[in-house]
C-alpha cells in the first residue's frame, strides 16, 4: 500500500466502529478521511469543535460559504438537520460526555492508554487545541495512525513526550491491526493479514496481548 | 445609532500594554478590518487572548508579525508557523490552554465565578502549578477566570440597540468574550433596525461600540 | 419523525424513585401536559429539580399535591404554599438553592465540570457543609454538579430532527436541563420541518423523545 | 401617607438613583413599583432574572402573551430593543457584575450591609430565588422597604434572621429617609421632613450617623 492507500485503509476500518445516531468528532489529518467511509445505513452526527454538528462534505463552487469551516479552518458544508453553536456549548458537548467517539491521530500511545500528540519540546509546538478536552470527554477514544514513524514504534510501554491525557485511549487502528486497550494492556483484536503477528509485535514497543485475533476486513 | 464608532476613533480606546480578546477561530469570526486598524495604530506590548494565532497574513497574525504582541494566550498556534518561531526565540510569550478550558475560563470571567473544575489536562503539564480538587471521587484542575480590557468581536448582524447575531461558525468565542472584558467593540457586517428578541446572541448591554465594516 | 413518542408510552420511561428535572419558571416553560401524565401514571418517591414548586393546581404543584414527590430541589417555593406546608410537616424534603447556583450546578452536570466556584451564599447558611476556596483574594463556595435521570422540557418549536427553539421567557432552565440528564423528553407545541441552524437552542443530539402537545 | 402612598413615595425616590443606560433588576413587591417612576430622559434597561432585558409595562388585552412573564410569574411586555435569554446567561449577567443596580425589599438590614429577606425559620420559607445572586453580583444594592415592621425596627445593629448576603447593601430607602451604608456604618443622607431626626433615630436600632442630611424631594 502506498501512503494514501494506507491512510484510507486505516480510515475505512475506523468508520466501522460507529453505531446509529453516534456523535463523532474527527481530528485533523488522517481522522478527517474517516468521513469518506461512513456507512450509508446509519446516521452519524459529525461534530466540529469550532461550533457545529452535521458536518458535510467539502463545498463546491456553488455552495461554498466562507462562514462555514471545520476545526482545521477548512471550508465545509452543513447537512440538513445540523446546527451551529458557540465554543462554550461546543465544549460542554465534548467535556460533558455527549460525544460518543472521537478519532485522533497521535505521535505516541502507550499501554496505559495515555497518548501524546500536541507538542515535541523544542521542535513542534502547535498547541493542544481541543484535543485534550476531546480525549478526556468523549465516551470512546480511537487513535488512527500509522503503526510506526519511519520504522520507529509509536505504540510504547510508556509515552516519552508530554501527554495529551492519561488513560483515555480505548482503541488504536493502524495499517497493521486493531488494538483494544484494557486494564491489563493492549490486546491485538484484529490484524492485517499482509503482516505476520511477529512483524506486528516487532513494530510495537508495548507488550501486545495476542489471543486469537481475527483478520481485518476493510474495503477501500 | 447611539453606539456607532468611526474606525478612525478606535485609537482613543486602546493603549500600550493592554489585554485584548479577539473573537474568531482560524480567522473565521474575526473582524479583520478592526485588527488591521490595530496594526495601523501600532499599539504595542499587547496581551492577546484568542483561540489561535490566526493564519499567515490574516487576522491577529498581522499583529504578531508587526511585533505588537508581548503575550499570546491561545489553544493552538500550529497554522501560523511564525508564532511558534517567535515563541521558541523568546520574542513572544505564548501560553497554551486547552480550547474547552479557554472557553470556560473566559466564561467564568464574565459570569462572576471564582473558577471552574475541569478534568481536562489531569496528568499532563497543564496541571502544573494548579490546585487539584477531588469531587465525587475524581480529580479536577481548578482553572481561574480570564478577563481582558477589550474585546474585538465580529457581529454578522447588529441592530440599532447593539444586539448581535453571529452567523454559522463565526460564532465560536465571540459571545463568551462579549461578557468578559471592560470594553466590547463589535465590527458589524450589517446593521438592521431590530433583531428578533428570541434570536439575539449577545444582548446590547454587553456592547459598548459598534464599528460598521465597509463591504 | 424518528424521535416521536406517544404520551401513552411515557410510562415506559419513568420509575419510582427517579430524579426528574422539569423546565419552567412559575410554570412558564413547563410542559404541563407531560407533568399531568406523570400524575396519571402515579410514579412516586420522585426527586424533582425545578426552579420553583409551580403554582397551586398548575405544573409540578400537581405532583406535590398528589404525594409523588419525596425531594424537591428548587430556588423558590413561595408561590405554592402547599410546598412549604409539606416541608414544615416533614412530609417532603425541600432543598433550597440560589437560582443562579441552581443553573450553574445543572450546567456543570451537563458540561462535565467537577464543580464551580460562586460568591453567592458566602456568609449565609448556603455555605454550610461546603468547601470554601479562595481565589484571587476572594472567598467562593465550591458548588457541585447536578444531574438527573430524566428531563421534561417544553419546546415551543421542534423540528423533524429534534432540534428545539424555546420562545420568549419559556426558555429559562429548559436548554441547560437538556444537557444534564440521561434521558431528555421534550413536549412540543409545534413540529416543523427544519429550524434555521443558527437559531437552534437545543441541538437534537440532546433530545431523546418528542411528545406532541394536543392543542 | 397611607400604605400605598408610602410605597409609591419610596419607589419614586429609588428611581432617582438610576443613570442613563443602567441595567436594573427590580425585586418582587415594593421594588416592582419603581418601574412606574423611571425618569423619561434616560434609558433604563430593566432585567428580569427569568430571562429578559427590556421589561415593559403590564400587557393589556391586545398585547397579552402568556409566554412573557417577569420573575414573579406576572404577565409583562417586552420593550423595543429588548431580548430573551436562558437562566445561565441571566445569572452570568447578574453574578458577573453586569447589573448596575438591584432593588430589593428586605426583612432586616444591618450596619455592616448584611441583609435578611428569604426565610423566617419555622414561619415562612419562600426560598431565596435569585436574591442571593442579585445582591452578591449587582454593582449597587438598594433596599427599598418601610422603615419599621409594625413599629419594630428593621434596620438593626446585626441581622437576627438567616442572611441573604453579608456586607452587600449600599443604600436603604424608606419612607423616613435615604441611608448610605459605608465602612463606618449607616449614614442618613436624606430625611423625610415629615419626621424629625429624633423620630428616625428612634425607629432605627442601628446607630445612624447624621451629618447634615438634606431633605428628601419626591414627587409622587
**pLDDT (tens digit, 9 = 90+) per residue, B116-174?**
999 999 999 999 999 999 999 999 999 999 999 999 999 999 999 999 999 999 999 99
CA proximity to D64, closest of D54, D84, D78:
D78
The answer, yes or no, to whether residue D200 has pLDDT greater than 90, is: yes
Q: Which of A107, A133, A168 to mutate to test binding with chain B, by most B CBs within 10 Å of its CB? A: A133
Q: Complex ipTM above 0.90?
A: yes
What burial class does residue D4 get, using C-beta atoms within 10 Å of its C-beta: 0-12 exposed, 13-18 middle, 19+ buried? exposed
Contacts of residue C129, Cβ cutoff 8 Å, sequence gap at least 6: none
Contact C112 A95 (CB under 8 A): yes
Here the cell at position D138 is 449587582
B203 touches chain D (CB under 8 A): yes
Cα–Cα distances in Å, from C127 out to C118, C120, C121, D123, D162? Answer: 10, 9, 6, 22, 12
- Asked whether B99 and A95 are in contact (CB, 8 A), the reply is no
3-state secondary structure of B205: helix
Contact D86 C171 (CB under 8 A): yes
Q: Is residue B2 part of a domain?
A: no
Range of the domain at B121: 7-212
- Closest chain B residue to the Cα of C137, Cα to Cα: B114
- Asked whether D176 and D200 are in contact (CB, 8 A), the reply is yes
CATH of the domain at D81: 3.40.1080.10
Contacts of residue A113, Cβ cutoff 8 Å, sequence gap at least 6: A141, A166, A167, A168, A169, A170, A181
Q: Is residue D220 part of a domain?
A: no
Contact D98 B159 (CB under 8 A): no
Q: Which of A94, A126, A141, A162 to mutate to test binding with chain B, by most B CBs within 10 Å of its CB? A: A126
CB pairs under 8 A between C and D: 149
C163: chain A residues, CB-CB within 8 Å: 81, 83
- Closest chain D residue to the Cα of B203, Cα to Cα: D83
Q: Is residue B191 part of a domain?
A: yes
B144: chain C residues, CB-CB within 8 Å: 135-136
The answer, yes or no, to whether residue A8 has pLDDT greater than 80, is: yes
Q: Is residue B1 part of a domain?
A: no
Instruction: Choose the closest CB to A84 out of C112, C198, C205.
Output: C198
User: What is the distance between the alpha carbons of residues A187 and A203, in angstroms, rounded to a whole number?
Assistant: 15
CA proximity to C127, closest of D167, D164, B144:
D164
Range of the domain at A192: 3-215
Question: What confidence score (pLDDT) does residue A123 get?
Answer: 86
User: What is the distance between the alpha carbons of residues A76 and C106, in angstroms, rounded to a whole number?
Assistant: 33
- Closest chain C residue to the Cα of B101, Cα to Cα: C113
Q: Is residue C2 part of a domain?
A: no
Listed by number, the residues of chain C in 142-201 with a beta carbon closer than 8 Å to a beta carbon of chain A are: 159-161, 163, 179, 194-195, 197-198, 200
CATH of the domain at B79: 3.40.1080.10
Contact C110 A96 (CB under 8 A): yes
Least confident residue range of A112-116, B175-179, D23-27, D215-219:
D215-219
Sign of CA dihedral A156, A157, A158, A163: positive
A127: chain B residues, CB-CB within 8 Å: 52, 74-78, 96
Residue A17: pLDDT band (50, 70, 90) is very high
Query: What is the pLDDT averaged over residues D156-161?
Result: 98
Chain B: closest CA distance from residue A126 (Å): 4
Instruction: Choose the closest CB to B78 out of A49, A94, A126.
Output: A126
Question: What confidence score (pLDDT) does residue B137 get?
Answer: 96
Here the cell at position B205 is 448591554
D86 touches chain C (CB under 8 A): yes
- Closest chain A residue to the Cα of C107, Cα to Cα: A92
Question: What confidence score (pLDDT) does residue D122 get?
Answer: 83
Chain B: closest CA distance from residue D206 (Å): 31
Number of domains in chain A: 1
Query: Which tens digits make up the pLDDT trace of D114-151?
Result: 999 999 988 888 999 999 999 999 999 999 999 999 99
Question: What confidence score (pLDDT) does residue A220 get?
Answer: 75
Cα–Cα distances in Å, from D190 out to A85, D169, D171? Answer: 50, 17, 11
Percent above pLDDT 70 for chain B: 100
Contact C163 A91 (CB under 8 A): no
Query: Which tens digits make up the pLDDT trace of B71-113?
Result: 999 999 999 999 999 999 999 999 999 999 999 999 999 999 9
Contact B119 C114 (CB under 8 A): yes
B80 touches chain D (CB under 8 A): no
Give me the helices (H) in A97-203, please. 131-137, 197-202
Q: Is residue B202 part of a domain?
A: yes
User: What is the distance between the alpha carbons of residues C212 and C202, in angstroms, rounded to a whole number?
Assistant: 17
B112: chain C residues, CB-CB within 8 Å: 118-119
Angle at the Cα of A119 from the Cα atoms of C135 and B65, rounded to 5 degrees: 85
Question: What confidence score (pLDDT) does residue D81 get?
Answer: 98
Low-confidence ranges of chain C (pLDDT < 70): none
- Closest chain D residue to the Cα of C78, Cα to Cα: D126
Query: Which tens digits make up the pLDDT trace of D44-97?
Result: 999 999 999 999 999 999 999 999 999 999 999 999 999 999 999 999 999 999
Q: Is residue D39 part of a domain?
A: yes
Contact A165 B75 (CB under 8 A): no
Residue D180: pLDDT band (50, 70, 90) is very high
Q: Is residue A24 part of a domain?
A: yes
- pTM exceeds 0.90 for this model: yes
Question: What confidence score (pLDDT) does residue D1 get?
Answer: 84
C115 touches chain B (CB under 8 A): yes
The answer, yes or no, to whether residue A112 has pLDDT greater than 90, is: yes
3-state secondary structure of D40: coil
A82: chain B residues, CB-CB within 8 Å: none
- Closest chain B residue to the Cα of D87, Cα to Cα: B111
DSSP D146: -
Q: Is residue B90 part of a domain?
A: yes
A91 touches chain C (CB under 8 A): yes
Question: What confidence score (pLDDT) does residue A122 get?
Answer: 83
Contact B197 C108 (CB under 8 A): no
Number of domains in chain B: 1
Q: Is residue D171 part of a domain?
A: yes
Query: Which tens digits make up the pLDDT trace of A159-180?
Result: 999 999 999 999 999 999 999 9
Contact B88 A125 (CB under 8 A): yes
Instruction: Choose the closest CB to C198 out of B104, B144, B167.
Output: B167
Query: What is the pLDDT averaged over residues A186-191?
Result: 98
DSSP per residue over D183-206, as a string? TTEEEEEEE-TTS-HHHHHHT-SS
D88: chain C residues, CB-CB within 8 Å: 103-104, 107, 175-176
Chains with ≥3 Cβ pairs under 8 A against D?
A: B, C
B200 touches chain C (CB under 8 A): no
Residue A194 CB coordination number (10 Å)? 11
Give catalytic residues of D, as residue numbers: 49
Question: What confidence score (pLDDT) does residue B205 get?
Answer: 98
Here the cell at position A75 is 471550508
Amino acid at each position: 500500500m502506498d501512503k494514501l492507500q494506507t491512510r484510507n485503509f486505516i480510515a475505512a476500518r475506523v468508520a466501522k466502529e460507529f453505531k446509529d445516531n453516534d456523535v463523532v468528532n474527527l481530528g485533523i489529518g488522517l481522522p478527517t478521511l474517516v468521513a469518506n467511509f461512513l456507512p450509508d445505513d446509519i446516521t452519524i452526527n459529525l461534530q466540529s469543535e469550532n461550533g457545529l454538528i452535521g458536518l458535510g462534505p467539502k463545498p463546491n463552487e456553488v455552495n461554498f460559504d466562507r462562514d462555514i469551516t471545520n476545526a482545521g479552518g477548512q471550508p465545509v458544508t452543513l447537512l440538513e438537520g445540523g446546527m451551529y453553536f458557540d465554543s462554550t456549548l461546543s465544549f460542554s458537548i465534548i467535556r460533558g460526555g455527549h460525544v460518543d467517539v472521537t478519532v485522533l491521530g497521535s505521535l505516541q500511545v502507550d499501554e496505559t492508554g495515555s497518548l501524546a500528540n500536541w507538542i515535541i519540546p523544542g521542535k513542534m509546538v502547535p498547541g493542544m487545541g481541543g484535543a485534550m478536552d476531546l480525549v478526556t470527554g468523549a465516551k470512546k477514544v480511537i487513535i488512527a495512525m500509522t503503526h510506526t514513524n519511519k520504522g520507529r514504534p509509536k505504540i510504547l510501554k510508556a509515552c516519552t513526550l508530554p501527554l495529551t491525557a492519561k488513560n483515555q485511549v480505548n482503541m488504536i487502528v493502524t495499517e497493521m491491526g486493531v488494538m483494544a486497550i484494557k486494564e491489563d494492556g493492549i490486546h491485538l483484536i484484529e490484524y492485517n493479514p499482509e503482516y505476520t503477528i511477529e512483524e506486528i509485535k516487532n513494530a510495537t514497543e508495548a507488550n501486545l496481548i495476542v489471543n486469537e485475533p481475527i483478520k481485518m476486513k476493510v474495503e477501500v | 445609532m447611539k453606539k456607532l464608532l468611526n474606525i478612525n476613533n478606535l485609537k482613543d480606546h486602546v493603549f500600550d500594554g493592554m489585554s485584548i480578546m479577539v473573537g474568531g477561530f482560524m480567522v473565521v469570526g474575526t473582524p479583520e478590518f478592526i485588527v488591521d486598524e490595530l496594526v495601523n495604530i501600532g499599539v504595542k506590548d499587547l496581551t492577546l487572548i484568542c483561540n489561535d494565532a490566526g493564519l499567515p497574513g490574516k487576522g491577529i497574525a498581522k499583529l504578531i508579525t508587526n511585533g505588537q504582541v508581548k503575550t499570546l494566550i491561545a489553544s493552538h498556534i500550529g497554522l501560523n508557523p511564525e508564532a511558534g518561531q517567535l515563541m521558541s526565540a523568546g520574542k513572544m510569550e505564548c501560553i497554551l490552554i486547552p480550547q474547552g478550558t479557554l472557553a470556560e475560563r473566559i466564561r467564568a470571567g464574565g459570569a462572576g465565578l471564582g473558577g471552574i473544575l475541569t478534568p481536562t489536562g489531569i496528568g499532563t503539564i497543564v496541571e502544573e502549578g494548579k490546585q487539584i480538587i477531588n469531587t465525587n471521587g475524581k480529580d479536577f484542575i481548578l482553572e481561574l477566570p480570564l478577563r481582558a480590557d477589550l474585546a474585538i468581536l465580529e457581529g454578522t448582524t447588529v441592530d440599532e440597540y447593539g444586539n448581535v447575531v453571529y452567523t454559522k461558525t463565526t460564532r465560536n468565542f465571540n459571545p463568551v468574550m462579549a461578557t468578559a472584558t471592560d470594553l466590547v467593540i463589535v465590527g458589524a457586517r450589517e446593521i438592521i433596525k431590530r433583531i428578533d428578541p428570541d434570536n439575539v446572541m449577545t444582548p446590547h448591554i454587553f456592547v459598548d461600540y459598534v464599528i460598521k465594516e465597509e463591504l
